[in-house]
Each structure stands twice: as structure tokens, then as C-alpha cells.
Amino acid sequence: MLFKIVSALFSGCTTTSRFEQAVREGDHYKVQSLLQKKPKLASTRFDDDGSLPIFKAGNLLTLKALVDHGVTPYEGQLHCVFYHCMDGRADIVNHFISRKNFDVNTPGLALNSTLLMVACRNSHIEVVNLLLESGADICLKDDEGKTAFDYLDHEGINAHRYSDGDIFRLERAKICKKLLLLHQNPDEGR
């Protein structure tokens, strides 16, 4: 009886979609199990946006399971840490930036923005603090001449981008600004 119930739940659910769900939810046990059965899953692209699994890992253990199966953190020149920074995944960001030769000031994504700019744009306090403590330069500019300060959501105007109606976004941006000010060189006015 139980077998019939489980079979009914997974009918129409492909191994690829179960893998994608496990990666996003951070179910590293299921990720490891599925990768052992089908190693090629590690290089499949996700349906919604075509990204590789390592860019969508739900937590650090899932990311490590992917890396253990030979998945690289790069797609072309883009490192997956930018996406995890955008999503506020401090554990994964810390995993990469604490590595010996990792430069927290390396630009990436559109406009050559830095990890700090990405974290500020999304008001991720923990990630902003982590990057600042790791030596992120608040004075670097992107291709449009914007600094991390300019990426802060000073008026909550970007809150509409989030379906959850993030009412605390403006307050988080204010805290991020205070963190930037604490790390500002006294010779640089802002």
C-alpha cells in the first residue's frame, strides 16, 4: 500500500526535477543519492533559468555534495558565489571567500559589480558584514561609476521585486549603510 502511495506521488516527476528540487531545498542526502545513480545530473541545467545546479544550491552541504561530484563553481568566467551573494546565502559566500586565493573585490555579473555591491543591492546584512570583514573595498566602482553605497536601496524602491512584500527591506538597507560607514576610510566623504 505504501509503495502505491509513494509511486502515485512521484508519477510524472522525473529524476531531473527531483534532483532540481533537492538542490534548491538543500537536501544534500537526496542530492548525493541521485548523483550516485546518475552522475550526469550535476551538469544538467535547471528548467526555469538554465542555470547549473551549483548556482542554486540551497545550503553549504548541498554545494559540497555537488563539488564532491566534480561540479565547478564557474560558468565561463562567472563564479557561483555572485548568485549566492544575491540570495543572501552567507554560509556559501563564506565558504568561497575564506579560501586562500579568493579576491572579494573581483568584479563579475553585469556592469562589473563586486560581491559587496550585489549584497548591498539586496540588503543582505550578514553577507555585507562578512564581505567587509574579509576586506571588501567600499570605494570600488562598477562600469557606471557606482559604489556599494549607490547600490543600497535607500528608499525601499526595489522592494517591489520581491513577491513576499519585504517590508523590512528599507531597514536592512539602513543597517547595511551603517556597516559601510563603519568600514569607510575617514578621508572618503559620504
User: What is the CATH classification number for the domain harbouring 84?
Assistant: 1.25.40.20
Residue that the C-alpha cell 559587496 belongs to: 116
Q: Are residues 63 and 114 in the same domain?
A: no
CB 12 within 8 A of CB 20: no
- 78-95 tens-digit pLDDT: 888 999 998 999 999 999
Length of the chain: 190
Q: Percent of the chain having pLDDT more than 70?
A: 82
Instruction: Report how far apart, in Å, the C-alpha atoms of 181 and of each of 2, 58, 79, 128, 137 are.
Output: 58, 31, 28, 12, 12
Q: Are residues 51 and 32 in the same domain?
A: yes
**Mean pLDDT score across all residues of the chain:** 82
Domain that holds residue 8: 1-72
The DSSP letter of residue 44 is P
Extended strands (E) in the chain: 74-75, 78-79
Using CA atoms in the order 176, 89, 118, 169, what is the torsion angle rounded to 10 degrees? Answer: -50
Q: Are residues 67 and 83 in the same domain?
A: no
- 43-56 tens-digit pLDDT: 888 877 778 888 88
Q: Are residues 144 and 87 in the same domain?
A: yes
Q: Are residues 128 and 178 in the same domain?
A: yes
